[in-house]
Structure 1
Amino acid sequence: MPKLAVPLTESQIRALEPRATRYSIADGNGLVIEVMTTGTKVWRFRYSLNGKRQPLATIGDYRMISLRVARARAQKYAEMVAQGVSPVATARRDRGAESKADVLREAAELYLTTEMAGKSEEYRRTTRRTLDKDVLPAIGGKPIKAVTSDDIAAICDRIKSRGSPKMALHTRNVVKRLYEYLIARQLATTNPAEVIPARSIATVDSRTRVLSGDEIGTMLRAIDASSIRRPLKLALHLLVLTMVRKSDLVESTWAEFDLDRALWTIPAARLKKDRDQRVHLAHQAVDLLRELHRARAGRHFVFPSVRGDDRPIARSTLNQAVKALGLDVEHFVLHDFRRTASAHLRDMAQRSDALEGLEQQPTAEEHATGQRRIAQRWADFVDAQIEGAAKR
C-alpha cells in the first residue's frame, strides 16, 4: 500500500531550499510542489488516465497561487480525471487567468483573491475598502519593490489629517500584512510598512479598550463561521459569557462544574487565593458546556490538549486561534472581554444593583441570585449583538 503524503503547510513550503537538481514534495490528492534549482517553486498535478501515468499538469507559480488555491485546483482536476477527462487544457486556461503581479495594484488583487479567501466576509470587506480608499489611489501604480516607507507614512499622514489616527494605524497594518504575504511569495524583499512604528501613527491605551456591541456580535459570528476547531469556538464564546480570565477557563476541569445548578467553582488552590471563586452560569453558557461534555476528548480537562495526553490546551492557543482569523478589530486582546463586560453591565445598571445589595449586607442566597441575574442579563445582551450582526 503506497505511503500517504503528509499535507504541507505554508511555513514548510517557504522553508524549501533549492538543491543541485530540482525535486518535488507531495501534498496529497495528486498535488505536488516542485522546487527548481533557481529556487522557484511550481505547483504540479500528478495523475493517471486509463491506467497510465501522464505527464505532470502545471498549476502555476507558488508566488502567485497559495496552498489553499492549489489544493482547490488539484481537487477540481482530480474530479475531471475521475470522469476520464485530461485536466491539461483546463490547467492551461487557469494559469492564463493569473495576473502577473508587477505593480502594487495587481499584487493587492492577488492578495485579496488568495490569502483573503479564507477570512471572514467582514474582514475581507474592510481590507479591500482600506486598500481601495487610501492605498491604491496613491501608490497602486508603483512597482511592488519601488514602494517606500515614505510612501506609507505619507498615506498615514493624510488619513491622520482627516482626524482618523486609528484608521491611519489600521491602514499601515493592512499594508504591512500585504507585504508579509508578498515577501512569503518572493514578490517583495522588504516590508515598507514594518519600519513605521505604530506609536508614531496613533497611541492607544489598551487598558481602556472596550468592544462595542456591534464589535461583539461581528466577532462572535466570525468565530462561529470560521474553520477553527469547534472546542476553540466554544471556548472563545465562553470567555465572553463567563467574564473570567483566560487561564481560569482553559485550565478548568469537569470536576469544577455543577451544570444542573449552573455553577462553576474555581478552587482557591488553582487561583492561588484564600477562597474558591464561584461563577454563576447563564443558560447559554450551560448549553455550550453541555455540548463540550457530550463530545469531550479528555476525562479531566474541559479543553484537553490535542496531543492526547491529559493536560489542557496552552494558554496561547486561544490567542493564536483569534490571530489566525484575521478579525478586523483594532487593538483588541482577549483580556478586553472582561473589561467589555464590566462596561456594558454598568451601562445596563447591573453593577449598581449588585453594589446596592452588598451595601445592605444580603444573605448568601440573595447575593447568588443577584450574580445569576447579572450573568443572564449579560448573556442575553451578547445574544442580541450576535443576532444584530446577522441582520447587517
Structure 2
Amino acid sequence: MPRLAAPLTESQIRALEPRAARYSVADGNGLVIEVMTTGTKVWRFRYSLNGKRQPLATIGDYRMISLRVARAKAQRYAELVAQGISPVATARRDRGAEAKAEVLREAAELYMATEMAGKSDEYRRTTRRALDKDVLPAIGSMRVKAVTAEHVVAICDAIKSRGSPKMALHTRNVIKRLYEYLIARQLATANPAEVVPARSIATFESRTRVLSGEEIGTMLHSIETSSIRRPLKMALHLLVLTMVRKSDLVEATWDEFDLDRALWRISAARLHGDTDRIVYLPRQAVAMLQELHRTRASRTFVFPSVRGDDRPIAKSTLNQAVKALGLEVEHFVLHDFRRTASAHLREMIEHAQRDKTSAQTRQSESRGKPEGDPAEQRQIAQQWADFVDAELDAARKRAVGAG
C-alpha cells in the first residue's frame, strides 16, 4: 500500500528553497508542488491510468494558486481519473482566468492563504469577516482589474448606513492591503481603495483617539497570540497597565523597582523634571516584571537590546512590533494607550471620588492619574488593571467562540 503523504502547510511551502536540481514535495491525493532551480514553485497532479504512470498534469504557479484551491483541483482531477479520464485537458482549461487569480474571490483566497498566514489569529479573523460579509458579496465575482474606486465607496457607504463608520474604514483598508498584495504579484495594476481618502469614510483625530474597552481587549489578545518576542509582548501590556510614556518604560532600569512593595520610582533626572515619579504597580504588572527579572538578559535594563551590549531597546522597537502585527484597530498609535487609560480612569475616579471636592477631582483628572494618598492610588491602579484584564479575557472568549 502506498505511503500517504503528510499534508503540507502554507508555512512549509513558503520555506521550500531551490536546489541544484528541481524537486517535488507531495501533499497527498496526487497533489505535489515542484520547486524549480529558479525558486519558482509549481503545482502538479500525479496520477496513473490503466495501471501506467502518466506525465504530471500542471495545475499552475503557487504564487497564483493557493494551497486550498490546488487541493480542490487535485480532488476534481482524481475523480476524473477514477472514471478513466485523463485530467490533462481539464487542467489546461483551468489554467485560465481563475487559475491566474483574475477573479477577485480567487485573489482574496490566495491572499488569505499566503500573505495573511503569518498574521495573528484575531487579525486574520477580522480580515476574513470583512471580506466574507461585505467585500466578496459585492464584488467577489468581478475581475480584479475591473474593480474601481466607485465600487469601494459603495461598499463603505453600505456599511456606514448600518451605523458602523469604523468598520467601513476597516473594510476599505482590507481592500487596500489586498490590492497592494496583488500589485506586488503583478495580478493588478492599480489600487482602487488607495484613491478613496480615509477621511471621507471616518475620521479619528490623533489627539482624541480613545480605544474602547473591547478594542483594548482585542488589541492585547492580538499581541498575546502573536509571534513577537515575549518581552515585547509584556512591554506593550505594561504600557497599558502603568500609563507611562513609551520612553519611560523602554529605558527603565532594575534599580528603579521595588517589586516587594509594588513600587516603581522614575527619577526626576530621567524625567527631565524636578521630582521623582512614583508608579504604584498592580499585581498584574508585578507578575510580568517578576518574570522579566527571572529571565533577564541585562543587569541594568528591563528591556535590553538583543545586540548584547548593555543598552535598552530602541524607542522605535515597540512601534515596529505593533506595525508588524497588522492590528485591526485603525489610526492607532502607542500614545493612545495613555490617552485611553486617562479617559477610562476619569470615569473610575469620578465614581470613587464623587464625595470629594470638585477641585480635587479636576486636578486628578487633568493629570490622567489618581491623586491623593498612596492607598487610594493603589486602589485605582488595581481597578484599572482589573478592567484591562476583564476586557482581555472577553477577547479570548470571543476568539474561542469565533473559532
Write the deviation string for residues 171-208 of structure 1: whole angstroms up to 9, x where unpaired.
11010111122123332232221122211222222322
Decide whether the 8 Å contact of 1:305 with 1:313 is kept in 2: yes
Q: What residue is the counterpart of 1:297 in the other structure?
A: 297
**Structure-2 separation of matches of 1:330 and 1:298:** 35
Matched, 1:317 2:323: no
User: Structure 2 matches for 1:179-198, cutoff 5 A?
Assistant: 179-198=179-198
Q: Secondary structure of 2:353's match? A: helix
Contact in 2 for aligned 1:296/1:302 (Cα 8 Å): yes
- Matched residue of 2:373: which SS? helix
Alignment correspondent of 1:50:
none
Q: For 2:158, give the aligned amino acid.
A: R
Matched, 1:276 2:276: yes
State the Cα distance separating 1:44 from its structure 2 match. Answer: 8.0
Shift of 1:289: 0.5
Correspondence for 1:389: 395
Q: Which amino acid aligns with 1:156?
A: C
**Counterpart residue type for residue 300 of structure 2:** H
Change (3 A) 1:299 1:32: farther
Partner of 1:223: 223
Instruction: Give the aligned partner of residue 78 of structure 2.
Output: none
2:374 corresponds to: 368
Structure 2: distance between partners of 1:59 and 1:226? 34
Write out aligned runs for 1:138-177 (5 A): 138-177=138-177
Note the 1:64-103 alignment, pairs <5 A: 64=64, 100-103=100-103
Which residue is 1:261 aligned to? 261
Once the 2 structures are TM-superposed, how far is the Cα of residue 25 of structure 1 from its aligned partner?
9.9
Q: What amino acid maps onto 2:297 in structure 1?
A: A
Cα distance 1:325–1:265, how it changes in 2: closer, same or farther (>3 A)? same
- Deviation of 1:166 after TM superposition, in Å, equals 2.4
Match of 2:386 among 359, 363, 380: 380
What is residue 43 of structure 1 aligned with on the other side?
41
What is the aligned residue count?
325
Secondary structure in 2 matching 1:261: coil
Give, in angstroms, the shift of residue 214 of structure 1. Answer: 2.0
Q: Percent identity?
A: 71
Sort the Cα spacing of 1:308 and 1:330 in 2 relative to 1 into closer, same or farther, 3 A: same
Conserved? CA contact 2:60–2:99, under 8 Å:
no
Give the secondary-structure state (helix, strand or coil) at the position aligned to 2:40. Answer: strand
Give yes or no for contact 2:65–2:99 (8 Å, CA) kept in 1: no
Query: What is the alpha-carbon distance in structure 2 between the residues aligned to residue 265 and residue 327 of structure 1?
Result: 32
Which amino acid in structure 2 is aligned with residue 224 of structure 1? E
Is the CA contact 1:63–1:187 (under 8 Å) kept in the aligned structure 2?
Answer: no
After superposition, the Cα gap between the structure-2 partners of 1:195 and 1:149, relative to the gap in structure 1 and judged at 3 Å, is same
Shift of 1:216: 1.9
Aligned partners of 1:25 and 1:33 also within 8 Å: no
Q: 1:177 to 1:351 in 2, by over 3 A?
A: same
Query: Structure 2: how far apart are the matches of 1:354 and 1:275?
Result: 29
Query: C-alpha separation between the residues in 2 aligned to 1:120 and 1:182?
Result: 21
Letter in 2 for 1:42: T
Report which stretch shifted further, 216-225 or 290-299.
Answer: 216-225
Aligned to 2:287: 287
Amino acid at match of 1:302: V
Cα separation, 1, equivalents of 2:42 and 2:100: 19
Compute the RMSD of aligned alpha carbons.
3.7
Secondary structure, aligned partner of 1:279: strand
> Which letter maps to 1:129?
R
Sort the Cα spacing of 1:349 and 1:268 in 2 relative to 1 into closer, same or farther, 3 A. Answer: closer
Residues 315-373 of structure 1: CA distance to partner in whole angstroms, max 9, x if unpaired? 22112212222222233222111122222222223675399499499xxx962222111
2:120 is equivalent to residue 114 of structure 1: no
Task: Indicate if the aligned counterparts of 2:65 and 2:100 stay in contact, CA closer than 8 A.
Answer: no
For each residue in 1:103-147, what CA deviation from the matched residue of structure 2 results, as whole angstroms up to 9, or x when unmatched?
Answer: 111000111222223333332222122112222222212221222
Tell whether the 8 Å contact from 1:215 to 1:329 is kept in structure 2 after alignment: yes
Distance 2:42 2:152 in 1: 37
Counterpart code for 2:152: I
Q: List alignment gaps of at least 5 residues for structure 1.
A: 1-9, 14-22, 46-57, 70-92
Q: 1:177 to 1:250 in 2, by over 3 A?
A: same
Q: Within 2, Cα distance between the matches of 1:334 and 1:178?
A: 25
Structure 2 equivalent of residue 208 of structure 1: 208
CA distance in structure 2 between the partners assigned to 1:110 and 1:345 by the alignment: 44
Which stretch shows the higher mean deviation, 350-359 or 319-328?
350-359
- Which secondary structure state, in structure 2, belongs to the residue aligned with residue 260 of structure 1? coil
Contact in 2 for aligned 1:265/1:277 (Cα 8 Å):
yes
Distance 2:153 2:327 in 1: 24
SS in 1 for 2:219: helix
Q: Quick check: 2:268–2:275 contact (8 Å CA) kept in 1?
A: yes
Report if the CA contact (8 A) 1:242-1:279 is conserved: yes
Residues 82-106 of structure 1, C-alpha deviations (whole Å, 9 max, x = no match)? xxxxxxxxxxx9xx99954121110
* TM-score, normalization by structure 1: 0.72
State the TM-score, normalizing by the size of structure 2: 0.71
Contact 1:303 1:312 in 2 (8 A): yes
Please tell me whether the aligned partners of residues 228 and 321 of structure 1 are also in contact (alpha carbons under 8 angstroms).
Answer: yes
